[in-house]
Amino acid sequence: MGDVGGFESGIVWRLDGPLARRHRVHVFGSGRRPVVFGHGLGTDQGAWAKVVHDLPADVTALLFDLPGAGPLLPEGFDPDDYRTIAAFADDMLDLLEEVGVTGCTYVGHSVAGMVGALAAIEAPARFARLVLLNASPRYLNDADYLGGFERVDVDGILGTMAANYQAWVAGFAPAAVGAGAPRAVDEFSAGLLAMRPDVTLRIARTIFESDVRALLPMLRVPTALIHSREDIAVPATVGRYLHEHIAGSELFWIDAVGHLPHLSAPGAVGTALRGILNG
């Protein structure tokens, strides 16, 4: 792929480094504004395909795979290295440093939203803005906080994943995507089945056991929240919670059902994202 320049004044992006290869970095577009996209569990960078093809002309999209995505795991990969969301954030910051992205808008879906939030807390100068799609700081219910899952629910999910992974995928994918989007269900199912089951289980456990609520007040990067009105994994209460606890954030509701609207309703996500980028 080689070096790519011209996205930021005086900046050259290096796309052939070891971390770029490890995360299978790809670039789409040739505009002056860099937008980095992070994907959620069970998908890879391809989940953004229908969104990045309809971005403003002055945008260049940088897409990468989070550790564990897909069947081709990088040499030395150990799922136990990712017991916290912070481990993913550190990986991403190292990647952006190597590539040479010194300032960008970051768009993160689900767990990748909190990966971006933690990265922006650690290195705020690297991010001009965050856009979090159906993201959650905690998935477990807790006192007055409604995250969407009771502990017994999560234990049951993880137990089913361990006992019969294929059966779990067959039930979880349509529930997560929602009715009326069979192609999106098939795409999400294929992504989950492409992952090594023990890797999916380790990352799912990390996600379900994460709680970054206490860190949200430390986030000072301008943040936009895009949230489906109906999401079995991240209820509307979580979108409102993030809006209330991230200073100055904006909350945009989209008429989409399910946890993966960029697969099931890419037009709605694209419209919201373009409005944010052009705002």
What is the average pLDDT score of the chain? 93
Q: Check residue 279 and give its pLDDT.
A: 84
Structure tokens belonging to residue 74: 């990088």
Domain residue ranges in the chain: 3-277
pLDDT of residue 9: 37
Which is catalytic among the residues 23, 39, 91, 110?
Answer: 110
Distance CA 211, CA 139 (A): 8
pLDDT at position 2 is: 37
pLDDT less than 50: residues of the chain: 1-11
> Is 259 assigned a catalytic role?
yes
- The pTM score is 0.94
Q: Which two tokens stand for residue 85?
A: 């969301």
CATH (residue range 3-277): 3.40.50.1820
Residue 26 annotated to the active site: no
- The torsion angles phi and psi of 47, rounded to 5 degrees, stand at -65, -20
Sign of the torsion angle spanned by Cα atoms 27, 29, 31, 37: negative
Catalytic residue among 23, 109, 259, 262: 259
C-beta of residue 81 within 8 angstroms of C-beta of residue 87: yes
Residue 11: predicted pLDDT:
44
The residue ranges of DSSP E strands in the chain, in sequence order, are: 3-5, 12-14, 26-28, 33-38, 59-63, 104-109, 127-133, 223-230, 250-257
d(CA 169, CA 155): 16
> Is 245 known to be catalytic?
no
